[in-house]
Copies of this chain bind each other. A is one copy, B any other.
Amino acid sequence: MERDVDDGDAKAHETAREASEPRRGSGRVTLREVAAAAHVSVATVSNYLSGYPYMRATTKERIERAIGELGYVANTAARTLKTGRTGLLTLSVSDLRQAYFAELSERIIAAARDRGYGVLIESTGLDRARELASPTNVLNHATDGLIVSPAMLTARDTDVFAGDYPLVMLGVQPFTPPCPYFVVDNVRAAYDATTHLIQAGCRRIAIIGGELSGPPSSRTTRALGYRRALEAHGIAFDQRLVRPVKDWNGLAGARAVTALLDDGLRPDGILACNDHLAFGAMRQVRDLGMNIPEDVRVVGFDNIDEARFSIPSLTTVDQSADAVAAKAVGSVIAQIEAGRRAPAMLEHVPHRLVYRASSPEA
């Protein structure tokens, strides 16, 4: 990873100084020695260390090999004191084991790398105390900014994120975040997914993972959009078709289908609040001898990689994870460069229904 966040002049100055620095007894390797070993110019090594994007892969590899062999070390700690920056971001997510968060993290790492930043990942494991502690790294100046997607906060926790440090929040929160805030319009997304099922002919649509009451969350906002779509299309709302589940995994999705049938409800459409729930629901529907999409249509949420590979492949709501990653990284770096937090601002990222075999476009 490249760490230098100086402006061009400062870099040129530093390069000149380091290049002219004699080899010391301590074994400190100079930029000039790296350049000689890699058969490139000192300026090229400097560009490499600055994260210059337009460099041939073979050149990069030669420099990396020379750095590895010689043990060149840039004095990052001294640079941090000078610039006040570390070149690192903290990303705090609730559970890296959920594919959605792993894929979002992967995209945030890539977006940050493109800007020359590294990413410190904290996975809170749905532990409220750890979520409350998520600003610690940035407050300690271990990193320059925080991107956080908490899941266990309450309306009174807004103070936890008070301050002027660079901050971006993701996901539905029970309070108005005091910073730029990127989230899909969950009510609208669930409305659109439910409308698709209705237009495809479904009349008994179940929602797995939705909850009718509680503070704002993915669970409540998606249930609200589902309900509004039913009402807008003149379909009676039946509370028994709303199936809250604690853990959004495949087993819970399968069990929700069993419970629906045990209760004498035979849905012809299922909206699952994430793709794992949808996979479990699909397996159970097929195990019980029903066909997808002929007997039951299934729509998921998130569009994780696996949704393309499931059998049948899954129609699902794409939440623009690429756009979320790019916007979150762009905003937090802009705040770092401005030296202060940006004003509170909600931005809805686009969503779209990706049609696949589990519920083709009507």
Contact = CB atoms under 8 A, between A and B. Distances in A.
A9 to B, nearest CB: 21
Interface string A110-131: 1001000011111101001100
Interface string A228-264: 0000000000000000000001110010000000000
A212 B336 CA distance: 51
Contacts of A119: 120-121
A109 B305 CA distance: 23
A120 B90 CA distance: 9
B68 A142 contact: no
Given A65-B132, A106-B123, A78 B76 contact: no
Using C-beta atoms within 8 Å of the partner chain, give the interface range for chain A.
Answer: 35 or more
B97 A103 contact: yes
Interface in A119-169: 119-123, 125, 128-129, 132-133, 135-137, 139-142, 159-165
Nearest to A252: B309
Interface of A: 1-3, 57, 60-61, 64-65, 67-69, 71-78, 80-81, 84, 86-88, 95-97, 99, 102-103, 105-106, 109-110, 113, 118-123, 125, 128-129, 132-133, 135-137, 139-142, 159-165, 249-251, 254, 276, 280, 283-284, 287, 305-306, 308-311
